[in-house]
Structures are given as C-alpha cells and as structure tokens.
C-alpha cells in the first residue's frame, strides 16, 4: 500500500512540474497531492496532559503561532522593564527626579503660605470688625447660601439695612 501511495505522489509531482500541463490540471493535481500526503503522513504523537496539536491542522498552527507571539510579547515587556529600571538608575535621571521633587515641594510650600496669608487676612478683617462692633449680641438674621450653607448675620441687632455675614454675603433683613 505504501508503494502505491509513493508512486501516486511521484506521478502527481511529475504532472505538476511538466511544462505542458495546463493551469486547471495543475491545480487539480496539487489538491490531489495534498490529499495523498495527508493520507500517507503519520499522525502527530500525543503527549499525556498536553492538548493534541496536529501540525497539519491550520487551527493548531494558529494556536502555535499565538503561543509564540505571546512568548515574544512577554520577553519584550520584560526587556523594556529592565531597560526602564536601568535608565531610572542613572545619575542623570536621579538628578532630574530630585530637581522635580524640589520644585514640587517649593510650589506646595508657596501655595500653603499663600493660603495661610489669606486666612490671616480674613481673621484680621473679622478681628477689626469685632473691635469696631463689639463681641455681640448679634442680629438673629439667618440665610442659606448655596456654597457656604447656613450663615448668620454678624451685625448688631436692629441696626437696620441688610444682614451681613462679614464674608461678603449680604441679604435683606426681615423684621418679625
């Protein structure tokens, strides 16, 4: 049986390689040769615990291709991580990071100082108002501000005019 298969394969190869064979006949001979090779090639060996991958199966070939691509991508990721670590460890990179850190801390310190100055200015304004008006009693006016929430009037009682919370928010005073 093996001799018949070899003879068939030889005849098909000769037909494909012959210069006077037409294109349609050559295509049919190629398909027949592929089928003959599939019949004569031994089955792929099976390994316990590993899925069977037949080298003649296009899906198995695709599976193997993606396995190789995954391994190559992982190797590239590891190499890029190693290069990144080496680059970060250079004296120049450390100097740049250190300078950026110093600039960041300086900006934070300046921002915190500006906020402290703003709080001190607000406290000074309130202290000046309390010095002029006194420590109370206050008007009983209340208002609801969309951002500040509930605010109280800081003017003397029955002083007339609008209520004022001394932070820039005013509202009309309603007599009971």
Residue 23 sits in which domain range?
1-43
**Residue 93 domain flag:** no
Residue 57 inside a domain? The answer is no
User: Parallel, antiparallel, or unpaired: how do β-strands 163-164 and 149-152 relate?
Assistant: unpaired
Residue 34 lies in a domain: yes
Residue % of the chain over a pLDDT of 90: 30
pTM above 0.75, yes or no: no
Of 43, 58, 75, the residue at which a domain comes to its end is 43
Residue 29 forms part of a structural domain: yes
What would the two tokens of residue 48 be? Answer: 């316990």
Better-predicted residue by pLDDT, 157 or 25: 25
User: Quick one: what percent of the chain has pLDDT higher than 70?
Assistant: 82
List pLDDT tens digits, range 113-136: 999 999 999 888 878 777 766 666
Counted domains in the chain: 2
- The answer on pLDDT for 47 being more than 50 is no
Q: How far is Cα 83 from Cα 77, in angstroms, rounded to an integer? A: 10
Write b or e for each residue in 142-164: b if 16 or more Cβ atoms lie within 10 A of its Cβ, otherwise e.
ebeeeeeeebebbbeeeeeeebb
Query: Is 89 within a domain?
Result: no
**What pLDDT digit, counting tens, does each position of 148-157 carry?**
788 888 777 7
Residue 152 lies in a domain: yes
Q: How far apart are CA 171 and CA 164, in angstroms?
A: 7
Asked if residue 74 is part of any domain, the answer here is: no
> Looking at the domain assignment, is residue 175 inside a domain?
yes
């Amino acid at each position: 049986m093996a001799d018949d298969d070899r003879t068939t394969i030889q005849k098909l190869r000769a037909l494909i390689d012959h210069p006077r064979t037409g294109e349609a006949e050559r295509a049919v001979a190629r398909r027949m040769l592929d089928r003959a090779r599939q019949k004569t090639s031994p089955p792929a060996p099976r390994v316990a615990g590993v899925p069977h991958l037949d080298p003649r199966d296009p899906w198995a070939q695709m599976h193997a291709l993606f396995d190789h691509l995954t391994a190559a991508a992982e190797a590239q990721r590891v190499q890029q991580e190693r290069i990144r670590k080496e680059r970060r460890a250079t004296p120049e990179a450390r100097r740049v990071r250190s300078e950026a850190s110093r600039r960041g801390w300086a900006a934070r310190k300046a921002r915190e100082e500006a906020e402290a100055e703003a709080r001190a200015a607000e406290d000074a304004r309130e202290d000046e108002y309390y010095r002029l008006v006194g420590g109370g009693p206050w008007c009983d006016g209340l208002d609801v501000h969309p951002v500040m929430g509930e605010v109280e009037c800081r003017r003397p009682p029955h002083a007339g005019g609008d209520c004022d919370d001394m932070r820039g928010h005013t509202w009309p005073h309603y007599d009971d």
